[in-house]
Each structure stands twice: as C-alpha cells, then as structure tokens.
Amino acid sequence: MKVGKGRPAIRIKPDKRELERLYVKESQSIRDIAGQLGLHPDTIHYWLKKYGITTRSRAKRSKLRKHKLSTLSL
C-alpha cells in the first residue's frame, strides 16, 4: 500500500448555494454552519473564499442580535 505525504485531500465539498444561503442570507456564523454540516470551521472558511463569498469581519456580533427589535425598549 502506498502512503502519501502531506495533507490529506479535502473529500467533502459543501454546495455553493447552501453556503450562500446559510452565511449570507441567514447570517449564520462559520462555526454554526460547520456544526450543521459536520465539517471543521476552517473547511467552511476555505470554501467561502474558494467560491468568492465575501466573509464578514471577525468582530463579535452584538448579543442584542438574538432579540427581536420590537421587544427591546430604550
């Protein structure tokens, strides 16, 4: 049996439309998407870049985002 050197080939290729839907339209995090698809977050980031999907900054999202705007009061 021949053993190759280096990094193993990426075998799972997430669908571009699915990544666009989850990351762009639903604004899910790379970590959340990775959990749903059973992949490593680095793999998701790789495919976002490969597909030309612009990634968001690494700044943390506001904790208020999980609340509906109508329920918040000043």
pLDDT per residue rounded down to tens, the chain (74 residues): 666 677 666 577 899 999 999 999 998 999 999 999 999 999 999 999 999 999 988 766 666 566 666 676 66
Give the integer Cα–Cα distance in Å for 15 and 36: 13
What string of DSSP letters covers 4-44? --SSPPP-----HHHHIIIIIIS---HHHHHHHHT--HHHH
Flag whether 68 is in a domain: no
Q: 47 lies in which domain range?
A: 12-53
For residue 64, being part of any structural domain is answered with no
Tell me, yes or no, whether 18 lies in a domain: yes
Query: First vs last Cα of the chain: how many Å apart?
Result: 68
Residue 3 lies inside a defined structural domain of this protein:
no
Give the SS3 label for residue 59.
Answer: coil
Q: What is the per-residue pLDDT for 63?
A: 63
Look at the chain and report how many structural domains it folds into.
1
pTM here is 0.65
Is 5 part of a structural domain of the chain? Answer: no
Q: Is residue 42 part of a domain?
A: yes
Domain annotation covers residue 58: no
- Find where tokens 């509906």 sit: 68
